[in-house]
Amino acid sequence: MKRALITGITGQDGSYLADFLLQKGYKVYGMVRRASTEKYERIAHAKDKITLLQGDLLDQLSLVNAVKEADPDEVYNLAAMSFVPTSWTQPVLTGEFTGLGVTRMLEAIRLVNKNIRFYQASSSEMFGKVRQSPQNENTPFHPRSPYGVAKAYGHFITVNYRESYKLFATSGILFNHESPRRGMEFVTRKITHAAASIKLKLAKELRLGNTDARRDWGYAGDYVQAMWLMLQQDKPEDYVIGTGKMHSVKNVIDVAFKHLGLDPKRYVKVDKRLFRPAEVDMLCADYTKARDKLGWEPRVTFEELIRMMVDADMERLQ
């Protein structure tokens, strides 16, 4: 039985990855940080099958102990401060969690067992003000937020530990991926939840920032398979994961509201206070390498994804 340790198991991706690895017959360990109230909604359905270990990306000893105790074949480092706007209000903490936290995890692996395979959750946010479109593994980075800068550090330290210490360390450069388990503050979920609330007369309007921003949105359930595939290869390499299709925030609004028979013009307001100090205008993945080497393809389309999220929010609110 293979063993995996997932950091960030209580998050969107961690919960889908746990489901995926359990199905594959893995013994799954999840690292969680201590809180006065437990936040395990996303893994509640699988909690009996997962072993939770306490640890924090800020605390080196807790990481070493988590790796020792789980004794894993694979570590998936998904934990991070992942919400871009907060990275401007908490830039130092973001650097500690999202950047230096990766080094701490890599050091824990180097100390405990150099044969552990390591996945780092890197981000298309590193491309930022894009130098070419679509973006692939060779596109230069130009991050536009403290979050993007911290992720670029996490990416390069992963590459560096692979080159310096011959660790099996991979960096998955994932474009935006969503699901009914997406955090409420991210734009897709904010929209699908608001559309459902308005339909049920629980809300009257939706305030958004830059609705012209374009992203390559895919389904989180598809993307965790790519993470796993990266660790099953003969050689550790970095991969771009996305759908190759770009849509605007306005497109998300249209699909969500029309699915419920609502006219978005009546409810959606642009609020300048929600604009970012520096915006990433567009992101679009060239995932040719992942398709050719991993045999990976996204399955859920953009429209299916948004409708799935609206339906889940309707069901939850009803």
Residues labelled as active-site residues: 123, 125, 147
Nearest-angstrom CA–CA distance, 102 and 57:
8
Does the bond joining 236 to the residue before it have cis omega, within 30 degrees of 0? no
- Does 126 contact ligand NAP by CB under 6 A? no
Interface region with ligand NAP, contact rule CB under 6 A, candidates 103-111, 176-184, 232-240, 278-286:
176-184
Are 129 and 142 in contact, with CB atoms under 8 Å apart? Answer: yes
Binding residues for ligand NAP restricted to 77-116, rule: CB under 6 A: 78-82, 97
Q: Find, among 6, 196, 11, 205, the residue nearest to 105 by Cα.
A: 6
Q: Quote the tokens at residue 81.
A: 């401060």
Q: For the residues of 224-249, what is the DSSP string, one character each?
A: HHHHHHHTTSSS---EEE--S--EEH
User: Site for ligand NAP (CB under 6 A): which residue of 177, 190, 199, 247?
Assistant: 177
**Measured from the CB of residue 150, what is the shortest distance to ligand GDD in angstroms?**
10
Nearer to ligand GDD, 168 or 217 (CB): 217
Which are the contacts of 265, defined by CB distance < 8 A and separation ≥ 6? none
At closest approach, how far in Å is the CB of 209 from ligand GDD? 3
Q: Is 47 in the site for ligand NAP (CB under 6 A)?
A: no
Q: What, of ligand GDD, ligand NAP, none, does residue 14 touch, CB below 5 to 8 Å by kind?
A: ligand NAP
Residue with tokens 């074949």: 73
Q: What is the largest CA-CA distance in the chain?
A: 58
- Nearest approach in angstroms of CB 88 to ligand GDD is 11
Q: Among candidates 162, 192, 163, 173, which has minimal Cα distance to 258?
A: 192
Shortest Å distance, C-beta 33 to ligand NAP: 4
Indicate the SS3 state at residue 141: coil
The size of the interface with ligand NAP (CB under 6 A), counted in residues, is 24
Q: What is the nearest approach in angstroms of ligand NAP to the Cβ of residue 140?
A: 18
Nearer to ligand GDD, 161 or 217 (CB): 217
Q: Which of residues 1-20 bind ligand NAP (CB under 6 A)?
A: 7-8, 10-14
Does 183 interact with ligand NAP (rule: CB under 6 A)? yes
Please give the single-letter amino acid code of residue 145.
Answer: S
Cα–Cα dist 41/205, whole Å:
27
Q: Which is nearer to ligand NAP, 95 or 264 (CB)?
A: 95
Which residues contribute to the site for ligand NAP (CB under 6 A)? Answer: 7-8, 10-14, 33, 39, 56-58, 78-82, 97, 121, 123, 174, 176-177, 183
